[in-house]
A and B are shown apart, each in its own frame.
Chain A
Amino acid sequence: MTPARRPRRAFDWSAAVVATLAIGSAIFVFFRDGQARFLAILTDDVWLFGSMLPKVLAGCLIGAFITLLLPRETIAKWVGADSGIWGILVATVAGAILPGGPMTIYPVAGAFLAAGADAGAACAFVISWTLIGYTRAIVWELPFFGLDFVVWRVLFSLPLPILAGLAARAAWRLMKPKVIA
């Protein structure tokens, strides 16, 4: 059994939008700030890209393994459309504790959706990772803001994935007569 998902194209309109933005900005920076600055930014970004690759690969592997390890019925029961507020809570906790960046979290969310999670749980999962995920807060946010700010910011964010997940589930029910992806 292979995880059923639509094939993914490497380059489509959304990548083209960002590519256009990036190339335009790069040209602008080159002419405004000169070659040295241009190369400095390029080197930084290429290095950053390289350091992200192990995380991307790990995210893809976790997504693929989880899809095959967790039976569809289990996922549907825990975080499916009829899982109630409990399912939203499970998704919120999962989003907060799964390490990794957007390159990890979205493939995993996509895998959960393909395996029977409902849209509300997927939204709670992604939003929870975005707002209260600890790796993100520790690695990126803490060095910039300091402990006090980050702790309060996270505390204020705690209820948000749950609220948004419940809203998403209600909205999805209204949209449901159309086909579910």
Chain B
Amino acid sequence: MNLAIDIALWAIVVTLGVTLFLRDQPSFSDSLQFARREFLALLPRIAIGMIGSGFIAETLPSELIPSLLGPETGATGLLLGSVAGALTPGGPVVGFAIATAALKSGAGAPQVIAYSIAWALFALPRVLIYEIPSMPARVVWLRVAVSLPLPFLAAWAAMMTGRP
């Protein structure tokens, strides 16, 4: 699956690249230079984020989380879940791994939805490593601010419908 995504991504790269090359050759080499600079600038940050995330995850008190997110915890559980999600570090699997552990040990589905959505939206290392350097900081903080209600909205929908 990982390979399929790499293939899809590079198919897009080749399509766009060939189109640009045929349209305007000097622009094409400019854009290669630009992409190379971006890549080299991102590299050390991503190395820190990726290599560090495993260690950060290892130090988390992940066994505490399930008991805080039981189905009977209601709105408090949603709030706790969202805060815990925001504090869980980025890394591609950390939040999902903890959320699954929580579900298996009896956490409520809405609480886990709030947790995983908050983690996806707010995980601080991800915001700092990837988002801040790529977009103007004002837009990033605006993005974070308008995202604040989203874990609750999704969890509320789950509570109302009784799914999953």
Which size class do A's interface residues fall under?
Answer: 35 or more
Beyond A22-B53, A123-B142, A123-B146: 16 further Cβ-contacts under 8 Å? A2-B30, A10-B41, A29-B55, A33-B58, A45-B54, A64-B34, A65-B13, A69-B19, A109-B134, A122-B135, A131-B150, A131-B154, A135-B8, A145-B96, A152-B158, A157-B150
Query: Is A36 at the interface (CB under 8 A from chain B)?
Result: no
What residues of chain A have their CB less than 8 Å away from a CB belonging to chain B? 1-3, 8-12, 14-15, 17-19, 21-23, 25-26, 28-29, 33, 37, 41-42, 44-46, 48-49, 51-52, 54-69, 99-104, 106-107, 109-110, 113, 119, 122-123, 126-127, 130-131, 135, 138-141, 144-145, 148-149, 151-153, 156-157, 160, 163-165, 167-168, 171-172, 175, 181
How far, in Å, is A64 (CB) from chain B's closest CB? Answer: 4
B42 and A56 contact, CB distance less than 8 A? yes
Cα distance A58–B6 when bound, in Å?
A: 8
- CB-CB under 8 A from B8, the residues of chain A are 99, 135
Cα distance A66–B38 when bound, in Å?
A: 14
Query: Is B139 at the interface (CB under 8 A from chain A)?
Result: yes
Query: Is B64 at the interface (CB under 8 A from chain A)?
Result: no
- CB-CB under 8 A from B139, the residues of chain A are 113, 119, 122-123, 181
A8 and B146 contact, CB distance less than 8 A? no
- CB-CB under 8 A from B163, the residues of chain A are 152
The listed residue (B39, B51, B99, B164) touching A56 by CB distance below 8 A is B39
- CB-CB under 8 A from B134, the residues of chain A are 8, 106-107, 109-110
Instruction: From known contacts A68-B24, A139-B5, A144-B97, infer whether A61 and B17 are also in contact, taking CB-CB under 8 Å.
Output: yes
A168 and B52 contact, CB distance less than 8 A? no
How far, in Å, is A147 (CB) from chain B's closest CB? Answer: 10
B9 and A22 contact, CB distance less than 8 A? no
User: Can you offer 15 A-B residue contacts whose CB atoms are under 8 A?
Assistant: A2-B30, A2-B34, A10-B44, A25-B52, A25-B56, A33-B58, A42-B54, A48-B54, A54-B6, A55-B5, A60-B39, A61-B17, A65-B16, A144-B99, A156-B113
How far, in Å, is B139 (CB) from chain A's closest CB? Answer: 5
How far, in Å, is A27 (CB) from chain B's closest CB? Answer: 9
Q: Which residue of A lies closest to B164 (CB)?
A: A152
